[in-house]
C-alpha cells in the first residue's frame, strides 16, 4: 500500500495535495507556517506534524524527521517558494526523483505516472518515475479532499538552521490575491501610461475583479506591485474569467493564465498571438473600447 506525506503551509494546499494522492493508502501531513497556526488543522482527520516556522532549513529538518519515521513512498505539495526550496534540497540529499508542475497523477505500486506542461505549457509531457518520489503539483488542478474528523497533532521543534536571518524587508505588495480571484483584468503594454490603468481598475470594480499585469507593467515600469505580475516567472492564476487588455500573449505570460476557464483578449492588432489562445477576442483600441464598455456596465448597474 502506497504511503503519502503531504507538505503544505495552508489548508487549501494540504486539501488539494490530499486530493492528488487520494489513491494512496496511509497519509500523514506536515503543516508548517500559516497552516500550523490554522484552527482548521485540528479537523483534518489525519495525523498532522505541526511546525510553527516557514524557514526552509526548519522545513527540511522536519521533512527528514517525518520521512525517516513514516517512510512514505510519495512526498507531495503545491509548487510554492518554500516547498520548492526545502523539498528540492531534500530530494538532492536523498537522491529522490522530483517531478514538478504536475497536473495529473496516477499511483502504481512501485511508480507514478504523471503529466506536466513544458515549453511554457504549450506541450504536455507524460512521464513515469519510480517510487519513492517527491511531487510538486500545480495549484487548483486537483480536487480538494474533504474529510472532517479530529486530527492527531504532533508538534515539531524548529531545528536544523544553517542560514541565519539577518534582516527582513517587506516587499511592496498591493494585498491583492490573484490566486483566489474569480475574475481578473490583465493589463499589458498596450496601456501607454500609468494613469491610464485607471480604466482597467474602473472595469475591475464594475466586474468585481482583481487587476493583474504582464511582466513589463509590474517588473519594468513598476506601475503595479510585483504581486500583480502574472506568468511563468510571476503568478499562475485560474480565474473563471481572464480579460487580457493590451497584452500580446507571449508564452511566458500565457503560461500563467492557462488554467483560466474563459480568456477574453482586447488588442488593437488582429494578428496578436493572444487571439490564438483566447476564447473571445475583441480587435479594438483599448482607449476607445474600454470607455464604451465601462459606460454600458455602469448603465446596467443603475
Ligand atoms: P507587448 O508584447 O509589448 O504587447 C503589447 C500588446 O498591446 C501588443 O499586442 C499590442 O498590439 C497591444 N496594444 C498596443 N496598444 C494598444 C491599444 N491602444 N489598444 C489595444 N491593444 C494595444 N511576461 C509576463 O507577462 N509574465 C512572465 O512571467 C514573464 N516571464 C518571462 C520570463 C522570461 C525568462 C522571459 C525571457 C520573458 C518573460 N516575460 C514574461 C516577458 C514576455 O516574453 C513578454 O515580453 C511580455 O509578456 C510582454 O508583455 P505585454 O504583452 O504587456 O507587452
* Rounded Cα–Cα distance for residues 52 and 67 (Å): 18
pLDDT digits (tens, 9 = 90+) for 235-293: 989 999 999 999 999 999 999 999 899 999 999 999 999 999 999 999 999 999 999 99
According to CATH, the topology of domain 178-301 is Rossmann fold (3.40.50)
The rounded Å distance from CA 283 to ligand 1 centre is 16
SS3 13: helix
Question: In this structure, what are the phi and psi dihedrals at residue 213, rounded to the nearest 5 degrees?
Answer: -150, 160
- What is residue 227's DSSP assignment? G
* Mean predicted confidence (pLDDT) in 206-222: 96
pLDDT at 163 over 80: no
Q: In this predicted structure, what is the pLDDT of residue 295? A: 97
Query: How remote is the CA of residue 274 from the centroid of ligand 1, in Å?
Result: 10
Give the CA distances from residue 133 to residues 49, 124, 125, 143, in Å, rounded to whole numbers and listed in that order: 20, 20, 18, 21
pLDDT of residue 171: 66
CA of 213 to the centre of ligand 1 (A): 9
What span, in angstroms and rounded, lies between the C-alpha atoms of 17 and 177?
20
pLDDT in tens, 169-192: 776 666 778 988 999 999 999 999
Other beta carbons less than 10 A from residue 291's beta carbon: 13
Span 4-156: which CATH code? 3.40.50.620
Percent of the chain with pLDDT over 70: 98
User: Is 164's pLDDT higher than 90?
Assistant: no
Q: Residues 104-117: what's their mean pLDDT? A: 94
Q: For 257, what's the count of Cα atoms within 13 Å in the CB-facing half-sphere?
A: 33
The closest-lying atom of ligand 1 relative to the alpha carbon of residue 217 is 52
- The angle formed by the CA atoms of residues 161, 162 and 163, to the nearest 5 degrees, is 100
The more confidently predicted of residues 94 and 161 is: 94
Ligand 1 atom at minimum distance from 269 CA: 11
Q: What is the pLDDT of residue 160?
A: 83
- Ligand 1 pocket test: pick from 199, 214, 230 the residue with the most ligand atoms within 8 Å of its Cβ: 214
- In this prediction the pTM is 0.69
pLDDT averaged over the chain? 93
Which pLDDT belongs to residue 173?
Answer: 63
DSSP string covering 128-190, please? EEESSEEEEE-TTSSPPP---B--EEEEE------S--------------GGG-SEEEEE-TT
pLDDT of residue 172: 63
* Most informative mutation of 221, 253, 285, 292 for ligand 1 (most atoms within 8 A of CB): 253
Neighbours of 103 (CB within 10 A): 17
Nearest alpha-carbon partner for 36 in 55, 17, 64, 21: 55
pLDDT value at 111 more than 70: yes
d(CA 127, CA 158): 35
Q: How far apart are CA 211 and CA 185, in angstroms?
A: 5
At residue 5, does pLDDT exceed 70? yes
Closest residue by Cα to atom 44, ligand 1, is 250
Q: Nearest C-alpha to atom 13 of ligand 1 is from which residue?
A: 190
25-78 pLDDT, tens digit each: 999 999 999 999 999 999 988 999 999 999 989 999 999 999 999 999 999 999
Domain ranges of the chain: 4-156, 178-301
Mutational test site, ligand 1, from 120, 188, 194, 263, max ligand atoms within 8 Å of CB: 188
Query: Ligand 1: residues within 6 Å at CB?
Result: 188-190, 214-216, 230-234, 246-248, 250, 252-253, 256, 266-269, 272, 285-287
Give residue 294 CA to ligand 1 midpoint distance, Å.
24
**DSSP element (H, E) containing 288:** helix 286-301
pLDDT tens-digit series, residues 118-132: 877 778 999 999 999
Please, which residues bridge with residue 136 across strands? 77
CA 187 / ligand 1 centre spacing (Å): 9
CA gap 136, 21 in Å, rounded:
12
- Asked whether the domain spanning 178-301 has the same topology as the one spanning 4-156, the reply is yes
The C-alpha cell of 193 is what? 501610461
**Ligand 1, closest atom to CA 216?**
49
Amino acid at each position: 500500500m502506497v504511503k503519502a506525506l503531504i507538505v503544505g503551509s495552508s489548508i487549501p494546499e494540504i486539501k488539494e495535495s490530499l486530493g492528488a494522492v487520494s489513491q494512496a493508502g496511509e497519509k500523514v501531513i506536515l503543516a508548517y507556517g500559516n497552516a500550523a497556526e490554522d484552527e482548521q488543522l485540528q479537523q483534518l482527520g489525519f495525523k498532522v506534524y505541526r511546525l510553527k516556522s516557514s524557514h526552509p532549513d526548519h522545513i527540511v529538518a522536519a521533512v527528514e524527521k517525518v520521512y525517516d519515521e513514516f517512510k512514505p513512498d510519495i512526498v507531495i505539495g503545491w509548487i510554492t517558494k518554500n516547498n520548492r526550496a526545502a523539498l528540492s534540497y531534500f530530494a538532492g540529499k536523498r537522491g529522490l526523483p522530483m517531478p514538478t508542475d504536475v497536473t495529473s497523477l496516477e499511483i502504481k505500486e512501485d511508480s507514478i505516472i504523471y503529466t506536466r506542461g513544458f515549453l511554457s505549457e504549450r506541450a504536455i509531457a507524460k512521464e513515469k518515475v519510480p517510487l519513492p518520489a517527491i511531487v510538486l503539483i500545480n495549484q487548483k488542478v486537483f480536487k480538494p479532499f474533504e474529510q472532517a474528523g479530529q486530527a492527531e497533532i504532533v508538534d515539531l521543534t524548529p531545528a536544523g538552521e544553517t542560514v541565519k536571518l539577518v534582516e527582513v524587508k517587506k516587499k511592496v505588495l498591493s494585498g491583492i490575491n490573484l490566486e483566489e480571484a474569480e475574475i481578473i483584468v490583465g493589463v499589458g503594454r498596450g496601456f501607454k501610461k500609468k494613469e491610464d490603468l485607471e480604466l482597467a481598475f474602473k472595469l475591475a470594480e464594475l466586474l468585481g475583479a482583481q487587476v493583474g499585469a504582464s511582466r513589463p507593467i509590474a517588473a519594468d515600469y513598476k506601475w503595479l506591485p510585483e504581486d500583480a505580475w502574472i506568468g511563468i516567472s510571476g503568478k499562475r492564476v485560474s480565474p473563471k474569467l481572464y480579460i487580457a487588455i493590451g497584452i500580446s500573449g507571449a508564452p511566458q505570460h500565457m503560461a500563467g493564465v492557462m488554467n483560466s476557464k474563459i480568456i477574453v483578449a482586447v488588442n488593437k492588432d488582429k494578428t496578436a498571438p493572444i487571439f490564438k489562445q483566447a476564447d473571445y477576442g475583441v480587435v479594438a483600441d483599448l482607449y476607445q473600447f474600454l470607455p464604451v464598455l465601462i459606460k454600458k456596465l455602469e448603465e446596467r448597474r443603475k
